[in-house]
Chains A and B, each alone.
Chain A
Amino acid sequence: MIKKIVLTTATLSLLLLTGCGQTAPDLEGANTGKNNVSDATQIAGDTVTIDENRYGNQNSADSNSSGKYNSSSDGFQSVYFAFGDYGIAPGMESRISTDANVINSSTASKIKIEGNCDEFGTDEYNYALGLKRAKAVKDSLSAQGIAANRMVIVSFGESNPVCSSPTDSCYERNRRVDLHLVK
């Protein structure tokens, strides 16, 4: 008798576990439209589409580079970070020195320092984390004598991954700061 009750409860449990949440049907919507609904001002009128494809067609440089990771360009070395962290790890200090040498031997007036994150953060907080990483690299370069006004920092949050596989090594490659000369 008790076995029957257990079996029944188990079946009910499975049904409830799989059946929770009410999902509306997936209905493919249309993509464009002109509209003028009487008495519905918020959808009256045609809306525009802006095409900005002329900008930003370049992907991160050297994303297929062999050996140790690097997605910076112009001879710079990317700097990598631990999960959720924005401190420069001791193992990354030699890369900072390399980057300082590249800047010192360059005639470019500006260097862009781009902070990046893995996919696990959300919303604004992830962009702030990328910014802290870029700032940490900028401060380290300043400490090596690079003029602060030659460096521009920008956070790209999780928008610029160099890989997308669900592996630790991929996540590591995305938690980074890239450097580029502004030409």
Chain B
Amino acid sequence: MHDEKNEKGIELRYILLLLLSLNLFAVDATLKIEKDVEQRARIALVDASPVMDEKFFKILLSDLKISGHFLADTRHHEGDINSNYLLPVLKSKEYVLKYALTKQAGTKLLIRLLKASDSTELFKKSYAIPTTTKAPFLAHKAISDINNILKYPDISWINRYVIFSRYTTPKHSEIVLADYTFNYKKVIIRGGLNLFPKWADKNQKSFYYTSYSGLTPTLYRLNIYTGNKEKITSSEGMLVCSDVSRNGTKLLLTMAPQGQADIYELDLSSGAKTRVTTFNGIDVNGKYVDDESRIVFVSNRLGYANIFKKSIHSAAVSQVVYHGRNNNACDAYGNKIVYSSRESQNSFGKNTFNLYLTSSNGSDTRPLTTTGVNQFPRFSTDGSVILFIKHRNYGSSIGYINLASHQSLLFPLSGKKIQSIDW
């Protein structure tokens, strides 16, 4: 009898251990870190709009959260924009952001940043745009401004456009502009099959994309304000602009002029193309790394997709990642590399893809996600945040991971399958 009790006790302890283990592995690595809460500034939002707008309030909250610099009160307080009076409950915060949003004859936003302890006004600014559709950008701009006023590291990436292509019907797609939260969306190329959009310049005035309107894939550059379209090059087989140099003068292309997918560097000023890889298999996804004299890329030269590195002007190739058996997409910023790794072996149906951060010499590798299908990793222009697409059983999301603060955000995506994305 006593032994039976002991055995039951041991069994139950095993069950306990199993359940605790499940908890450990259930949470994305990026979400587990809330330990530096005290380092973030406590801030509350006070809505002084004539009509309180829950959507706009939540965008402001998202901006504050992903910045990694603020711990925002999630209650939607109401107040007067001009008064310096603060509810006693707000005195425990460091800052209070009062704002008034009006949507008559366009969109106007007035913000006042107050020091919570004594209501001192630290910053005041008004914004105006002629329509309501881009209101999310006003929220982003306001939060990046108060971030700068408080001298936190720059978060201006939240003001940028995201550009992506999505499939509509077989052999048809559209290219769409969005804000980072996807609350603003606008189709910029509708119809035909147009793929792999990639920003051409840091100011986001033009982007490259591959058009399938001709006999062979053709790369164009389109100015999003004037509609001016310029043919860059074409190639039999496939053609993708994988990366643009920091000064915008050189492109890394995946091309197949002889039916063999290889990586080329195109000098836009001279038109000269340098063939960077020559392997008789698959070499794609070239990304400038380090000082841009080298690239990282995806190749199946070991029999499976993996990440490699080489100098643009020499033949030697080195393996960067020694982990996983299918690492089929990557992005790079400086010496940082993020890659997507398939971590299950199902030929069909559900597979797990996780993102890993590593360096160009393969050191300091760490997981960024632990659940779901995580693909299309893209660094922000300052390398501080990674955008990615996450698929789980109950839907898809666009995700962001702030590498410094470890904050992460997911925004639901609906409908059509995303083909490629850039920001």
B37 at the interface (CB under 8 A from A): no
Interface size class of B (residues with CB under 8 A): 35 or more
In the complex, which residues of chain A have a beta carbon less than 8 angstroms from the beta carbon of B256?
131, 153, 155
B59 close to A53 (CB less than 8 A): no
CA distance A33 to B136 in the complex (A): 12
Question: Contact between A41 and B188 (Cβ–Cβ < 8 Å)?
Answer: no
A161-B259 CB under 8 A given contacts A17-B26, A27-B183: no
Within 8 A of B (CB), among A12-52: 12-13, 16-17, 20-43, 45-52
Contact partner of A55 among B22, B213, B237, CB < 8 A? B213
Binding site secondary structure of chain B: mixed
Interface positions of B from 345 to 368, Cβ below 8 Å from A:
347-349, 351, 353
Chain A: minimal CB distance from B235 (Å): 10
Answer whether residue B50 sits at the interface, using C-beta atoms and an 8 A cutoff.
Answer: no
A-contacting residues, B221-264, CB 8 Å: 222-227, 229, 236-238, 240, 242, 254, 256, 259-261
CB of B384 within 8 A of chain A?
A: no
Q: Which residues does chain B contribute within 8 Å of A134, judged by CB atoms?
A: 237, 259
26 A-B contacts, Cβ less than 8 Å apart?
A3-B12, A22-B31, A24-B62, A24-B409, A26-B411, A29-B182, A31-B187, A33-B133, A34-B130, A35-B131, A35-B133, A42-B161, A43-B137, A49-B189, A50-B222, A50-B227, A54-B191, A56-B191, A119-B417, A124-B240, A124-B298, A131-B259, A154-B237, A155-B238, A168-B348, A182-B215
Contact between chains at B170 and A20 (CB < 8 Å): no
B412–A49 CB distance below 8 A: no
- Of chain A, the residue at the smallest CB distance from B128 is A38
A120 to B345, CA, bound (A): 12
Contact of B227 among A48, A122, A131, A159 (CB under 8 A): A48
Shortest CB distance A126–B (Å): 8
Which of A25, A30, A124, A153 makes the CB contact (< 8 A) with B236? A153
Q: Which partner residue on chain A sits nearest B399 by CB separation? A: A21
- Do B141 and A132 touch (CB < 8 A)? no
> How close is A38's CB to chain B, nearest CB, in angstroms?
6
Pair B409/A123 contact, Cβ less than 8 Å: no
B129 contacts the other chain (CB 8 A): yes
Residues of B within 8 A of A (CB): 9, 12-13, 15-16, 19-20, 22-23, 26-28, 31, 55, 58-59, 62, 127-134, 136-138, 141, 159-161, 167, 169-173, 177-179, 181-196, 203-204, 211-213, 215-217, 222-227, 229, 236-238, 240, 242, 254, 256, 259-261, 281-285, 298, 305, 328-329, 340, 347-349, 351, 353, 371, 375-376, 392, 397, 408-412, 414, 417, 419-420
Q: CA A182 – CA B238 in complex, angstroms?
A: 18
Rounded to whole angstroms, the CA-CA distance of A2 and B16 in the bound complex is 9
- In the bound complex, do residue A30 and residue B411 qualify as a contact, i.e. CB atoms below 8 Å apart? no
Are B55 and A27 touching (Cβ within 8 A)? yes
Closest to B242 in A: A124
Q: Which of these, B26, B62, B170, B328, contacts A125 with CB under 8 Å?
A: B328
Of the listed residues A32, A120, A127, A138, the one surrounded by the most CB atoms of chain B closer than 10 A to its CB is: A127
Cross-interface CB contact of B133 among A32, A41, A50, cutoff 8 Å: A32
A124 touches B225 (CB 8 A): no
Please tell me which one of the listed residues B58, B167, B281, B351 contacts residue A24 in the complex, with CB atoms under 8 A apart: B58
Expressed in whole angstroms, the Cα–Cα distance for A122 and B396 within the complex equals 15
Asked whether A166 is an interface residue with its Cβ less than 8 Å from the other chain, the reply is: yes
A9 part of interface (Cβ distance < 8 Å): yes
Query: Does B170 lie within 8 Å of A129, measured CB to CB?
Result: no
Alpha-carbon gap, A14 to B141, bound state (A): 39
A160 touching B170, Cβ below 8 Å: yes
How extensive is the interface on chain A, given as a class? 35 or more
Contacts of A140 in B (CB 8 A): none
Q: A9 is contacted by which of B16, B414, B419 (Cβ under 8 Å)?
A: B16
Determine the chain A residues whose CB is within 8 A of the CB of B181 once the complex forms: 24, 27
Q: Which residues of A contact B (CB under 8 A)?
A: 2-3, 5-6, 9-10, 12-13, 16-17, 20-43, 45-56, 59-60, 83-84, 110, 112, 119-125, 127-132, 134-135, 138, 152-157, 159-162, 166, 168, 171, 182
Q: How far is the CB of B124 from chain A (nearest CB, A)?
A: 14
Chain B residue numbers with a CB within 8 Å of A13 are 19-20, 22-23, 26
A52 B213 Cβ-Cβ under 8 A:
yes
Q: How far is the CA of A160 from the CA of B328 in the complex (A)?
A: 21
How near does chain A come to B319, taking the closest CB pair, in angstroms?
17
- Given A9-B19, A51-B190, A60-B171, 15 other A-B contacts at CB below 8 A? A12-B23, A24-B411, A29-B179, A29-B182, A48-B223, A48-B226, A52-B191, A122-B328, A122-B340, A124-B240, A131-B259, A131-B261, A135-B259, A154-B212, A155-B237
Contact B170 A159 (CB under 8 A): yes
When chains A and B are docked, how far (Å) is the Cα of A61 from the Cα of B9? 66
Residues in B neighbouring A84, C-beta threshold 8 A: 347
**Set of chain B residues within 8 Å of A166, measured between Cβ atoms:** 348-349
Tell me which of A6, A119, A154, A182 contacts B12 (CB under 8 A).
A6
Residues in A with CB closer than 8 Å to B188 are 47-50
Q: Chain A residues near B392 (CB, 8 Å)?
A: 21
Contacting pair A26 B131 (CB below 8 A) = no
User: CB-CB < 8 A to B420: which residues of A?
Assistant: 123
Provided the pairs A20-B27, A160-B171 are in contact, do residues A35 and B129 lie with their beta carbons within 8 angstroms? yes
- Residue among B20, B192, B222 with most chain A CB within 10 A: B192
